[in-house]
Amino acid sequence: MTPRALRDSLTSLRAKERGVALPRGRDRVAMAYPSPYRAGMSSLGYQWICTILAEAGFGVERVFLPDDVPAWRSAKLAPLSMESHTPLGQFPVIAVSVAYELELAGLVELLRLAGVPPLRRDRGPGHPKILIGGPLTFSNPLPCAPFADAMLFGEAEDVVVPAIAGFFDTGSFEHVAGLAGGWVPETGAQAVVVAKADDTLLPARSRLWTPEAELTNMFLLEGERGCHRACTFCVMRRSTNGGMRLVTPDRLMELIPAEAERVGLVGAAISDHPQLVGLLERIVESGRGVGISSLRADRVALKPEIPRLLRLGGYSTLTVASDAASQRLRRQLSKGTTEAHLLACAEAAKEHHYRVLKVYMMLGVPGETDEDLDELVEFTRKLAAIHPVALGIAPFVPKFNTPLDRQPFAGIKVVESRLERLRAGLKGVRAEVRPTSARWAWVEYRLAQGGPLAGEAVMRAVDEGGTFAAWKRALGEAGDEDAGRGAVA
Query: pLDDT of 376-431, one tens digit each?
Result: 999 999 999 999 999 999 999 999 989 999 999 999 999 999 999 999 999 999 99
- Amino acid letter at 210? T
DSSP code for 42: T
pTM: 0.94
pLDDT score of 486: 31
Query: pLDDT of 320-363, one tens digit each?
Result: 999 999 999 999 999 999 999 999 999 999 999 999 999 999 99
Query: pLDDT of 421-468, one tens digit each?
Result: 999 999 999 999 999 999 999 999 999 999 999 999 999 999 999 999
pLDDT score of 239: 74
- Which stretches within 241-317 are classed as H helix? 249-255, 276-285, 297-302, 305-312
Helices and strands per DSSP (H, E), number in the chain: 17, 17
Domains in the chain, CATH or no CATH each: 3-187 (3.40.50.280), 201-480 (3.80.30.20)
CA 77 to the chain's CA centroid: 28
pLDDT score of 489: 29
The answer for residues whose C-beta is within 8 angstroms of residue 386's C-beta and 6 or more apart is 343, 346, 347, 349, 350
pLDDT score of 190: 62
Tell me the C-alpha distance between 361 and 322, whole Å.
5
Q: 97 has which bridge partners? A: 133
Do the Cβ atoms of 391 and 380 come closer than 8 Å?
yes
Tell me the C-alpha distance between 447 and 277, whole Å.
39
Do the Cβ atoms of 255 and 207 come closer than 8 Å?
no
Q: What burial class does residue 465 get, using C-beta atoms within 10 Å of its C-beta: 0-12 exposed, 13-18 middle, 19+ buried?
A: exposed
pLDDT band at 204 (very low <50, low <70, confident <90, very high): very high
Element (H, E) at 390: strand 389-395
pLDDT score of 310: 98
pLDDT band at 243 (very low <50, low <70, confident <90, very high): confident
Mean pLDDT value of segment 297-303: 95
Mean per-residue pLDDT over the chain, rounded: 95
Mean pLDDT value of segment 25-31: 95
The answer for residues whose C-beta is within 8 angstroms of residue 471's C-beta and 6 or more apart is 443, 457, 461
pLDDT score of 192: 65
Tell me the C-alpha distance between 170 and 8, whole Å.
37
Other CB atoms closer than 10 Å to residue 273's CB: what's the count? 23
